Each structure stands twice: as structure tokens, then as C-alpha cells.
Structure 1
Amino acid sequence: MLNDPAPVMIVDDFVGEAVVQRLLDYAIAHEAGFRPSRVALGHANEGYIDETHRVSKVNQDIDPVMPWIEPMIRKAVADAIPKLGLVNVDQYFLEPEIAWSGDGAFFKMHADTLRHRANPRVLTMVLYFHKEPKAFQGGELRLYGLGAQPDSGDDYREIEPRWDRAVFFPSWFPHEVLPVRCRSASFEDGRFALNCWVHRTSGNGT
């Protein structure tokens, strides 16, 4: 029998309208820095492109935006760790990126842990933003229980990608991003998400 879908903490109005607009402006201005998303495989740190499993683009060059949002992320992480039942996360570092999803983008069921790394991911945060009025549909986040299998009809929790909504969940729970539908081919009309993973640093227990 499968466990319940992943525990989750949802925070609406996470960083405020002004900061979200700055994030959107930054992403649009740096469209050229977005590259096709990759899928992790075993010990391959760089991963590989597999458009049967994941279609989107990401930009990891976002150091300029982190001062706007990092204090809010760290405050929320401090709340999320006990609320979501995480332990031994006294020390951690953040791994952020901005992801863009246009028409037809998706990410099939997967987990974020990357356990082969010395400092595994233990907590996933996603902050959604987009142009107003919203120009796309779909792109919901589905969270499953441990042991769920693709296309099996297992129970799930589905979360809409709303403007300035942040979602936190343990990285080892399987999840997927449903297909995005967007009539416009313009980059600025897509679904944007700031992904930020909490890596537990070496020296903590397991």
C-alpha cells in the first residue's frame, strides 16, 4: 500500500509583487541564457537531454537575483524543515535556477534527491511567476507518495502554478510537471519557476 502524497508547504504571496516583477524582468532580459533542460543519470553530473522525459529550458546564471529573494527563502526553509518532518539539516546550501516552460513543456515523474552526490538534495522549493494576464494553461505540479509508479493511477496532490506561489516538499518524493499549453510562441508568455534545492552539507547524519 502506497503512502500518502508528499507533505507540502504552500506559501502564497511569497516575495511580493515588486520582487516577482523584477524576477520576471530579469528572466525575459536574459532569455539568451536559457538552455534545454537535462535529466540526471547515475553519476553523470551534467545529465543529458531527453525530450521524451523532460522539455523545458533553464538558466542557472541567476546570482544577481539571489539577494532579492534569498533571505525569504532561508526564512521559509527554517519553517519548512520541521513542518515537513526533515531531520539533520542543521547546515545546508542552496542550488537555484530559473526554469521556463513554453507550449508542450513537461517533466515526467522523477525525484530530485541525486543521492550519489556528497551533499544530497533534501528539500525542493518552487516559486512560480509569469506575465499578467496569464498566457498559458496547465503546468501543474503533481506530488505523489513514495513508491508511486508512472501512469499507475496512484493518488496524488496537484498544485496550480499561481503568481508568487512558493511550494516546498521533501526532494525524495516523486513528482511531475503536467504539460503546458500556450498559444503564443513568445518567451515572455511562458510559465516561469525559480527552482531552489536545499542540499544538506556533509557532516550531518542521514
Structure 2
Amino acid sequence: MEQAGATEESQATDRRSPLCTDAIWRLPVTVCRITQFLGERTAGALLERAIASTGDALRPSMIRDHEVVPDFRRSRSHQDFAAPELISAIDEVVEAVEHTLGVSCQYTEPDYTLNVHNDGDFYRAHQDSTAEFSPRRQLTFVYYLHRTPRPFGGGELRMFDAALPLHTGTTGKWQEHTWRDWEPEHDSIVFFRPTAWHEVRPVSCPSKAHADSRFAINGWLCSPDPANTRTRATRA
């Protein structure tokens, strides 16, 4: 009888603590990547247009769309860069991307900039969208352009996997996260959810020449601005 009682007590303890308190839920982030996206001719023309963007067209890149913080993000951006051929190509694949990432881009509109990374430039880990910041962003895309052979090193897109402690329900520490680096290959594009944590690894560009930079068109498909929707309804 005494031995049976000890066994029952042990089983009760096991039922109360089915998981280790240090258990971590790890979930690899989903990324859609397409290579040779526009083709040699179109990509080459777009690259030349990007290289031609110099002088006052390029400004220090900002975080949260209004702050220049060199210790967190260092690059230059062209806010008014036009790439209609890229947007048309995205329209052709967006249905497959929606299905893969589990998002809906119906009625969205594109918003994008040209970003130029040269020697020593980087962008630390961040999210493109949160409940408080840019919640209209439904899908992130990054399209890469550069001279070949690649005249710079680094500049990988590091995508962090989710790491969630099961016993607290809060986001895990950064050292608990795993990641995958994606090469910034010319004429390739990646799509991912704007809530995913990611960063641009430091770039090494020995020549420091603008034309040898890591060029990328960073953008989002955004749900309509409610304010603009109300304005259109009022005018109608």
C-alpha cells in the first residue's frame, strides 16, 4: 500500500507539470523567393536607372518613416523612385504568394522606395509593421539589383525565426532565436510578412563607388488608407 501511494503521488506531479518551464516553441519564418524575376534585359535597365539615382535624390534612410538613427540604420533612400515594371511583375505572382504566406492582398496598393547600401551600411533587426506602426502593410517585398560579378560582400537579408517560451506567452530573448540568411542576388525578389523580424547584414564595398552598391527596392502592399476611402466616398 505504501509503495502504491508513492506511485500515485508521482503520477499526479507528472500531470501538473507536463512541460519543462524552459520549453521554447520555435517556428521557422516563411519566405517566398523568386530568382531571375524580371529577366536580364528588364533587370539591367532597372539597375541603370537605380545607378543614375544620385545627388539630392538620395537621402539618409529613416526608421519608422521619420527618424534618422545612424546607429540603427545606415543607408540612403530614394523615396520617389519609379519601378512600374516591377509592380506589374509582382501583380502576376501575388496570388501564389498570398496562398503560401497565408495573407490577403485584395484591394492593396504598393508603397516602395529604392535603398542603397554601400561600405559599412546596415539595418539592425526590426519589423516593418506592428499594431502601432504601419498596420496597413500586408506584405513586404524586397527586390535586389547589383552589378555582376557582385562588387560587394555581406548585405544578406537575415530572417529570424519565431521563438516563444511556452510557459510565459511572451517573446523570447534574441539569443534564443535562430535565423536564415538570404543572399541579395541580382534580379531576385523575396516576399514575407511585415511582422517578421529581419535585418540587413553589414555591407563591405571596397571601391566605395555608388555604382558598386547593393541596390534594393523595398516595398509593401498596403491596405487602403481609411481616411482616403472616406474622402473618396464623400466626393462621390
Tell me the residue number matched to 2:58.
34
Counting matched residue pairs gives 194
Aligned residue among 62, 65, 77 for 2:94? 77
Conserved? CA contact 1:148–1:174, under 8 Å = no
> TM-score, normalized by length of structure 1?
0.87
Name the SS of the counterpart of 1:39 in structure 2: coil
**What is the match of residue 120 of structure 2?**
104
Question: Relative to total residues, which structure has the larger strand share, 1 or 2?
Answer: 1
How far apart are the structure 2 equivalents of 1:157 and 1:109? 13
The one of 137, 148, 153 aligned to 1:121? 137
| Corresponding position of 1:167 | 190
- Do the aligned partners of 1:127 and 1:166 also contact (CA within 8 Å) in 2? yes
Paired residue for 1:43?
none
Of structures 1 and 2, the larger Rg is shown by 2
Deviates more, 1:186-195 or 1:112-121: 112-121
Task: Report the alpha carbon displacement of residue 116 of structure 1 after superposing the two structures with TM.
Answer: 3.6
Query: d(CA) in 1 for partners of 2:204 and 2:187?
Result: 20
Aligned-partner Cα distance in 2 for 1:119–1:170: 12
| Runs of 4+ that moved beyond 4 A | none
For residues 43-87 of structure 1, the C-alpha deviation after alignment (integer angstroms, 9 at most, x for no partner) is xxx421001100111102123x31x22211112222111111114
Q: CA deviation at 1:119?
A: 5.7
How many Å separate the matches in 2 of 1:141 and 1:118?
21
- Counterpart residue number, 2:103: 86
User: In 1, are the aligned partners of 2:151 and 2:205 still within 8 Å (CA)?
Assistant: yes
Determine the C-alpha separation between the residues in 1 that align with 2:69 and 2:173.
19
The one-letter amino acid of 2:87's match is: E
Q: Partners in 2 of 1:149 and 1:86 — Cα distance?
A: 27
Q: State how far apart, in whole Å, the 2-side matches of 1:122 and 1:99 are.
A: 20
| Structure 1 contact 101–190 (Cα < 8 Å) conserved | yes
Amino acid at match of 2:137: R
2:218 aligned counterpart, secondary structure: strand
Residue in 2 that maps onto 1:197: 220
Gaps of 5+ in 2: 1-23, 163-170, 227-236
In structure 2, the partner of 1:177 is 200
Aligned-pair CA distance for 1:145: 2.4
